[in-house]
Structure 1
Amino acid sequence: MHTMMTSMLGIGIIGLAAWLGCSRSLSPEEAGKVQVDEVRVAQLEKAIKDNKGKVILIDCWATWCVPCVKKFPKLVERHQKYAAQGLVCMSVSMDKLGAAEQYSKEKVLKFLQEKRATFPNFILIQPDKEEEALVKLIGDCFLIPHLALFDRQGRRIWTSADGPELTDEQLDKKIEQLLAEKP
């Protein structure tokens, strides 16, 4: 009986430790690595040009978009997996497309911190007023979630809106192919 209770106590402690580990909040240092900037399309275009020579994956999303929130962790995973090889992940919040009174930069930042999004994060200030320039730059991102992939020369080579639709594995393979190309 004593051995069984000791085993159960040990399992309980391990479970509690795992639960605490998964739900821990960010340290101040980690939180400081997660930032978000409110930008216009021209500033987003500059961020893409500034990363020429790298492969870029842009995720357009919003805190009020359930599929976006569900898929966002994949962007963080890709960043962790491929950043050292030359992938730059960028997130572009489309929160301002929702009800204006519900928009909160702090809400977007909190979400990004919770997801540990330590890559460039942007909030488009006027996506509806800059629609033409935005679509020209990253494709029809008004149906979110939306992904756009750029090669090392800064050319947009695929978007989730233009297709073909890719599974996570197919997108990873496409990223790996682009990373294998010389800058």
Structure 2
Amino acid sequence: MISTHSTCRNGFQVSLVLSLLLLSVSCSSNEESKPASTKTEEPSQIAAVAPAEEIKPEKTTEITLILSDAKGFQDILEQQKGKVVLVDFWATWCVPCVKNFHHSVEWNKKFADQGLTVISVSMDESDEETQKAVLKFLESQHAQFINILATAANDQDPMETYGIDGGALPHYRIYDRAGKLANKFSFADPNKSFTQADIETALETTLKQKSE
């Protein structure tokens, strides 16, 4: 026979254990039920991208045509002292002139920093329509240097007043920094042929010379 007091004491102990277990579970559940603290992140700052600078086309020299007689041409040469000057005498009706004109344009760009000035002198007629044709050709070649259309008073022939040997084109002249004629390339004498390479070599030689 089991003692009643012993049974009650055992029952009390069991009840105490159960109560402690329930309390433990309840605390654990409360702890777990708390929402995890979250840190509000500040919105990321995006660096402002500066707008790209506007790309502007390079300014180009306006191509013009000057009507000038031989005296005016000499005045223009005088203004170029201190520089080496290449003069390209040409005409729109001269096939080799037109074919090789681009060399003068290239030399102007290549040797400008070394002190070269290029002058083109058209030996075409000076009527209005021909002037337009000459200017149109110069524009097509981007001839951004001094461009002259030869004229002469009193019905004189510009070929003579400008001293073009035998009236033969193309005709080139190179003046040194002192304004003196250093080289001349003319087709007047068929036995004295020349090439564009000969002209470039003469230019390089003259450019290396110092002013007197």
- State TM-score, norm by structure 2: 0.63
Pair 1:42-2:68 in alignment: no
Corresponding residue of 1:22 = none
Equivalent of 2:148, from 87, 111, 122?
Answer: 122
Give the number of the structure with larger relative contact order, counting CA–CA contacts within 8 Å between residues 6 or more apart: 1
Q: Alignment partner of 1:104: what SS?
A: helix
Pair 1:61-2:90 in alignment: yes
Q: Alignment partner of 1:56: what SS?
A: strand
82-91 vs 157-166, which deviates more?
Answer: 157-166
Give the unaligned 5+ runs of structure 2.
Answer: 1-56
Equivalent of 1:107, from 130, 133, 137?
Answer: 133
Aligned length: 150
Structure 1 runs of 4+ off > 6 angstroms? Answer: none
Corresponding residue of 1:158 = 183
Offset, 1:45: 0.5
Give the unaligned 5+ runs of structure 1.
Answer: 1-26
- CA gap of 1:113–1:131, structure 2 versus 1, over 3 A, is closer
Offset, 1:170: 2.5
Offset, 1:180: 1.0
Q: Which amino acid aligns with 1:61?
A: W
Equivalent of 1:77, from 75, 81, 106?
Answer: 106
Structure possessing the higher radius of gyration over alpha carbons:
2
Corresponding residue of 2:35 = none
Distance 2:172 2:95 in 1: 16
- CA gap of 1:131–1:159, structure 2 versus 1, over 3 A, is same
72-81 vs 161-170, which deviates more?
Answer: 161-170
Offset, 1:171: 1.9
Offset, 1:46: 0.6
1:70-93 per-position Cα deviation (integer Å, ceiling 9, x unaligned):
010000011010011011110000
Offset, 1:167: 2.5
Query: 2:183 touches 2:202 (CA, 8 Å); kept in 1?
Result: no
Q: Which has the higher helix share?
A: 1
Offset, 1:102: 8.6
Equivalent of 1:148, from 162, 170, 173?
Answer: 173
76-85 vs 122-131, which deviates more?
Answer: 122-131
Offset, 1:101: 6.6
Q: Alignment partner of 2:92: what SS?
A: coil
Pair 1:181-2:209 in alignment: yes
Distance 1:120 1:41 in 2: 15
Query: 2:182 touches 2:206 (CA, 8 Å); kept in 1?
Result: no
- CA gap of 1:102–1:144, structure 2 versus 1, over 3 A, is farther
Q: Alignment partner of 2:177: what SS?
A: coil
Distance 1:82 1:63 in 2: 25
Question: Percent of counterpart pairs with the same letter?
Answer: 33
Query: 1:95 touches 1:103 (CA, 8 Å); kept in 2?
Result: no
